[in-house]
Amino acid sequence: MTSFNFKFDLIAQDGDARAGVFHTPHGDIPTPIFAPVGTQATVKSLTQRHLKELDAKLILANTYHLYLRPGDELIAELGGLHQFMSWDGPILTDSGGYQVFSLSDMNAIDEDGVTFKSHIDGSTHRFTPERSVQIQENLGSDIIMAFDECAEPYDREYNERAMQRTHRWAERCQKAKTRGDQALFGIVQGGVFPDLRAASAEFISGLDFPGNAIGGLSVGETKDEMSAMIEVVNAILPAHKPRYLMGVGTPLDLVEGIRRGIDIFDCVLPTRLARHNAAMTDNGRMNMMNAQYATDERPISETCTCYTCQNYSRAYIRHLIQARELLSGTLLSIHNIHTLVNLTRNLRTAIIEGRFERFADDYLANLST
Amino acid sequence: MTSFNFKFDLIAQDGDARAGVFHTPHGDIPTPIFAPVGTQATVKSLTQRHLKELDAKLILANTYHLYLRPGDELIAELGGLHQFMSWDGPILTDSGGYQVFSLSDMNAIDEDGVTFKSHIDGSTHRFTPERSVQIQENLGSDIIMAFDECAEPYDREYNERAMQRTHRWAERCQKAKTRGDQALFGIVQGGVFPDLRAASAEFISGLDFPGNAIGGLSVGETKDEMSAMIEVVNAILPAHKPRYLMGVGTPLDLVEGIRRGIDIFDCVLPTRLARHNAAMTDNGRMNMMNAQYATDERPISETCTCYTCQNYSRAYIRHLIQARELLSGTLLSIHNIHTLVNLTRNLRTAIIEGRFERFADDYLANLST
């Protein structure tokens, strides 16, 4: 396998906020960036052309789901995930760790790995750090994640144990890796405990991954706790490597994360909210079912440049929802992803132009949460 | 309202097959043509850009559904159906007649009209010929249909009665019409009875509509009966007006209809089959759930130029179906509509080039039904 130089170029810094470019075999990722999630090798209800037009520069897929269905070996036979889902841009896969704890019918963890039952058919499977890397190598994503244990955020003893195991598993993932064209990112854990987070950031930094992630946030803790953990960790993680805040994606979280030096985000929120009839805008969420929209000729957002807002009215989208027409999910997904991609793009420009704080404060002042 | 000259230019004839152009306020419709159906002002799961790219030159919407939800008056307030659904090409609406008989919870017919209960909420409504025209005027479609009664095809007495009422209603629709920018088409009924069909074709021809339709076919009769009825009717309908075979849309039916002088078709089949995981091809249908496609890297059809076939494999589409991902419906709808639009386009070229019979016979020889 050819070796790729996963370079991260820092272009500008404004306070702790950073603008950069992360180079991958399937193209450059300008940071900060929001990555839409294609759990089962499809960003729900969107074609790859929708994603291209949304200027999505990175998408995420889930190792747990693709391992179970259609199977990572099948995807490898078919030329890898890029070929399989007809997406030629960068892809990030998670390790499956979070899903085996949150989705599977049961799971039993030991030092070596996790045994779990499929949420699809109840069959028994086992993930280890080595297996997770192997599966992600079969998938062929550009960025792969170390297998980690995500604990309840407030249980100190459990977090300490899980963090230490996550560290040992990170080393095993690093050793298990055979492909030179995939960047393996380490994951910092430690719940809501600053000392654990600091210790984890120190340890993971020491393994010299081409990028680092913060896991176990946005799982029930407060916004202040999340911000505090990001600050502790980012003060330690190396500045010349990208920092990925996993599973986070409200506009507020993006602004506050970027303010504290985060470069990469992913979240199912824009597509999930779309399926629940909610539009994300720079001024907050709109429930498109509301009767007030029945006669509203305006687009969701009058300043939005997305395909949905350029072509369809609130009244039409409400009609689609009322009539249970699937197109509502597609149109709202396009709009919601655009909102987050556009926000990170605007924040990036603001960083480069040295006006991040003003932009961020103005944005948050208009955002009703 | 401005008056529009709904001219039908016959460009070529090959046997009874015809190639033409029907001019409408929202653009020219090359015939023969297949019109995808957007029952609730959306061709299910497709954006209007998908439809443009599919080269759909005419789409159909259902008066019954749009009257009930969101309401024709609301659509009129919002600028009409074209504006509402963001489709600037020609639209045809049916009269609602077929749906009040087939979909509503009850219906009671009398000489003046039909009282029916909404399939949505059980509320009571009434359609008359005048009301149907008024609703279609509110919708603002380019082609509107006379309100008709569709009878069981084999009940002679009922068909005779329904046909005569359909004739009286056709005259009432003509009188009720106020807009000059919509073409009202008459509808020939008469079940499977050649003498009734002939009488109906004579009567409807005499009303000098800008176009004529054949209703009450593809509702349970045999293929031979359908072909026989088309022959009887088309021998009488004026050659210089377009002929629309309502609700018909298998590849076989398109070829046999065009062979007998039909110009316009519509059918829910391509989108309905898509939702049931079936691909329509020039060689017949494929059930994309089949296990044999799990590892099949080929597109649905190797000669197909549609977006789906240019980008996605059978294996990927099967995965989407297995994973219950909505994108499968979108991708199969694109492919299936392409198959029918492309077939009518190829048949049109064959007519113009004087090789219709050879093309049709070759096509049908390859089509496993």
Can you give A49-77 as a three-state secondary structure string?
A: HHHHHCCCCCEEECHHHHHHCCCHHHHHH
Say if A298 is an interface residue toward chain B (CB within 8 Å).
no
**How does strand B264-267 pair with strand B243-245?**
parallel
pLDDT at residue number B255: 98
pTM summary value: 0.96
pLDDT at residue number B208: 98
Contact A248, A265 (CB under 8 A): yes
Contact A142, A90 (CB under 8 A): yes
Exposure of A61 in the CB half-sphere (CA atoms within 13 A): 28
Q: CB distance A311–B47 less than 8 Å?
A: yes
Please name the amino acid found at residue A336.
Answer: N
pLDDT at residue number A11: 97
pLDDT at residue number B107: 79
> Which among B249, B164, B263, B176 is positioned nearest to B213, based on CA atoms?
B263
Q: CB distance B45–A331 less than 8 Å?
A: no
Say if B331 is an interface residue toward chain A (CB within 8 Å).
yes
Residue-wise pLDDT tens digits, A23-77? 999 999 999 999 999 999 999 999 999 999 999 999 999 999 999 999 999 999 9
Alpha-carbon radius of gyration of chain A: 20
Q: Is B287 helix (H, G, I), strand (E, B) or coil?
A: strand
- Choose from B37, B319, B325 for mutation: most chain A CBs within 10 A: B319
Q: CB distance B45–A326 less than 8 Å?
A: yes
How far off is chain A from B319, nearest CA to CA, in Å?
6
Q: How confident is the model at residue B369 (pLDDT cuts 50, 70, 90)?
A: low
Mean pLDDT of chain B: 96
Residue where the block lists tokens 């719940």: A191
Distance CA(A339)–CA(A358), nearest Å, equals: 19
pLDDT at residue number A106: 73
Q: CB distance A85–B316 less than 8 Å?
A: yes
pLDDT at residue number B150: 87
Chain B residues within an 8 Å CB radius of A49: 307, 311
Q: CB distance A47–B319 less than 8 Å?
A: no
Please name the amino acid found at residue A213.
Answer: A
Distance CA(B48)–CA(A311), nearest Å, equals: 9
Q: How confident is the model at residue A369 (pLDDT cuts 50, 70, 90)?
A: low
Q: At what angle do helices A314-322 and A327-352 cross, to 10 degrees?
A: 140
**Chain A residue with the nearest C-alpha to that of B81:** A316
| Per-residue pLDDT at A1 exceeds 80 | no
Mean pLDDT of A275-302: 97
| Per-residue pLDDT at B251 exceeds 90 | yes
Say if A103 is an interface residue toward chain B (CB within 8 Å).
no
| Per-residue pLDDT at B241 exceeds 70 | yes
For residue A152, what are the CA distances in angstroms to A159, A189, A268, B317? 7, 11, 20, 37
Q: Is B186 helix (H, G, I), strand (E, B) or coil?
A: strand
Residue-wise pLDDT tens digits, B312-337? 999 999 999 999 999 999 999 999 99
Interface of A with B in 152-181 (CB under 8 A): none
Q: How confident is the model at residue B106 (pLDDT cuts 50, 70, 90)?
A: confident
* Percent residues over pLDDT 90 in chain B: 93
For residue A29, what are the CA distances in angstroms to A23, A63, A336? 6, 21, 20
Q: CB distance A295–B326 less than 8 Å?
A: no
Residue where the block lists tokens 């091809």: B281
Residue-wise pLDDT tens digits, B112-171? 999 999 999 999 999 999 999 999 999 999 999 999 998 888 999 999 999 999 999 999
CB atoms within 10 A of CB B4: 17
| Per-residue pLDDT at B8 exceeds 90 | yes
- In eight-state DSSP terms, residue A37 is B
Exposure of B32 in the CB half-sphere (CA atoms within 13 A): 37
Backbone angles phi, psi at B267, to 5 degrees: -170, 145
Contact B285, B269 (CB under 8 A): no
Token pair recorded at residue B319: 């995965």
Which of A311, A325, A326 lies at the smallest CB-CB distance from B48?
A: A311
Say if A330 is an interface residue toward chain B (CB within 8 Å).
yes
ipTM reported for the complex surpasses 0.90: yes
Q: Is residue A15 exposed (0-12), middle (13-18) or buried (19+ Cβ within 10 Å)? A: middle
Backbone angles phi, psi at A204, to 5 degrees: -65, -40
Distance CA(B124)–CA(B118), nearest Å, equals: 6
Q: Which runs of consecutive H residues, i.e. helices, occur in chain B? A: 48-53, 63-68, 72-77, 81-85, 97-102, 129-139, 156-176, 194-206, 223-234, 251-259, 269-275, 307-311, 314-322, 327-352, 356-366
pLDDT at residue number A346: 98
Q: How confident is the model at residue A183 (pLDDT cuts 50, 70, 90)?
A: very high
Distance CA(A314)–CA(A297), nearest Å, equals: 6
Q: B1-15, B186-200, B226-240, B342-356 — which is least confidently predicted?
A: B1-15
Q: Is residue A305 exposed (0-12), middle (13-18) or buried (19+ Cβ within 10 Å)? A: exposed
**Of A102 and A71, the one with more pLDDT:** A71
| Per-residue pLDDT at A234 exceeds 60 | yes
**Chain A residue with the nearest C-alpha to that of B68:** A323
Token pair recorded at residue B142: 């380019």
Beta-carbon contacts of residue A348 (< 8 Å; ≥ 6 apart): A19, A30, A31, A32
Cα dihedral A268, A272, A274, A276 in deg (nearest 10): -160
Report all structural domains of chain B as residue ranges with CATH numbers, in order of start.
Answer: 8-268 (3.20.20.105)
User: Does residue B105 have an active-site annotation?
Assistant: no
pLDDT at residue number A311: 98
Mean pLDDT of chain A: 96
